[in-house]
Amino acid sequence: MSIDAVLARMTAQLDELRRDSDARAAFHATYLRTTRAVADALRAGAFLDAEWVECWDVAFARLYLDALDAARRGEPVSRPWAVAFAAAAGDRSLPALRHVLLGMNAHINYDLPQALLAVISDDEFGDPAVLASREADHRKIDEVLSARVRKEDDELRELGEQSWQDTVLQPLNRAATRRFLRESRAKVWANAAALSRSRREGEIAYAARLGQLEELSAARVADLMRPGPVLLRLATRGFGVLLGDDRGPAAAASRTARLATARTRAARLAAGRLAAGRRTAGRRTAGRLAAGSRPGGSRPGGGRRGGSRPGGGRRGGPLQEPPRGGRPQRQAPCGRSTRLWSGGWNAPCGWRITCAAGHSSWC
């Protein structure tokens, strides 16, 4: 996907959000304008590696756009976005600036390190020359975004979305936003490097580390929901979030605990999926039993499951297909176990196998 395709997708989504009077349109519109500014800088040759910057910007944008689409379909999203989107669906008195800041914090703190990992390999994270080039282009991105701060203030003022406190604090807000970009960039790169080290250790280690970043980012977004001047609060508490150092004895113990937690979560998730699959199979079986089996074992299209036996003929008469997900009432007399395949049973002998519902099949 190119950055022009991303812009087209964002434009269509913004039209839908505004049509629905969705408060998420505030951040979305700001993000669309800044993405256009990045596209203009790409065309102007402002970056050392324009192709890499475009790939990175597209990967970054898609993390937000996919989360937005999922939320609008009623599907679960990551916790930072869940908090930001819940604010848009809740208190309608929140100013547009607050929604912009909620979106910025969720997107930069949680999504940006993942976007960097999508376009920088673990080997490249260990190459100082490559990292220097990537960080230089990142600083150029921040320059583009900083140039947008005053224009975004003007946009909000024209829409009547600024309170008198925002107007009074506007110069300080602009300075705080620029500091936010600089400080967040440093922490984003540190977090991306930490995620890269975890990725080298395997999927479970990476999932545990990403889960930690998700918790930190969600807590920061939730903190912005409290009343008061948000940018001043950010300025006093610091911008961005920072994963703890994953090196050294204490960090190793902490990492072991996170891995154990991640394994437990993975096991619970797998068990839940297995249970869901069994429930689905049970419902399908019940539905087929209620509808009755197809007569004569004939398959749609004229085929026959099981086929003719070597040497010709079929033992015992016509095939009667059991429902998918059925279980045999007993093993074949040969003592060999049976297995389910394509809705029927197959055993290495020629004996009939009967399920608890009375359906039978010949091997």
168-178 pLDDT, tens per residue? 345 445 566 66
Tokens, residue 209: 């580390």
- pTM of the shown model: 0.66
Give me the percent of the chain exceeding a pLDDT of 70: 64
- Residue-wise pLDDT for 205-234, tens only, equals 999 999 999 999 999 999 988 877 776 676
- Phi then psi for 267, rounded to 5 degrees? -65, -40
Cβ–Cβ contacts within 10 Å for residue 216, how many? 20
Q: What is the mean pLDDT of residues 327-337?
A: 43
Q: How confident is the model at residue 277 (pLDDT cuts 50, 70, 90)?
A: confident
Report the 3 state secondary structure along the chain: CCHHHHHHHHHHHHHHHHHCCCCCHHHHHHHHHHHHHHHHHHHCCCCCCHHHHHHHHHHHHHHHHHHHHHHHCCCCCCHHHHHHHHHHHCCCCCCHHHHHHHHHHHHHHHHHHHHHHHHCCHHHHCCHHHHHHHHHHHHHHHHHHHHHHHHHHHHHHHCCCCCHHHHHCHHHHHHHHHHHHHHHHHHHHHHHHHHHHHHHHCHHHHHHHHHHHHHHHHHHHHHCCCCCCHHHHHHHHCCCCCCCCCCCHHHHHHHHHHHHHHHHHHHHHHHHHHHHHHHHHHHHHHHHHHHCCCHHHECCCCCECCCCCCCCCCCCCCCCCCCCCCCECCCCCCCCCCEEECCEEECCCCCCEEECCCCEECC
pLDDT at 227: 78
Mean pLDDT of the chain: 76
Give me the percent of the chain exceeding a pLDDT of 90: 46
Tell me: pLDDT of 51 over 50: yes
State whether the Cα torsion 345-349-351-354 is positive or negative: negative
Burial class (CB in 10 A: 0-12, 13-18, 19+), 239: buried
Domain ranges of the chain: 3-248+258-272, 327-363
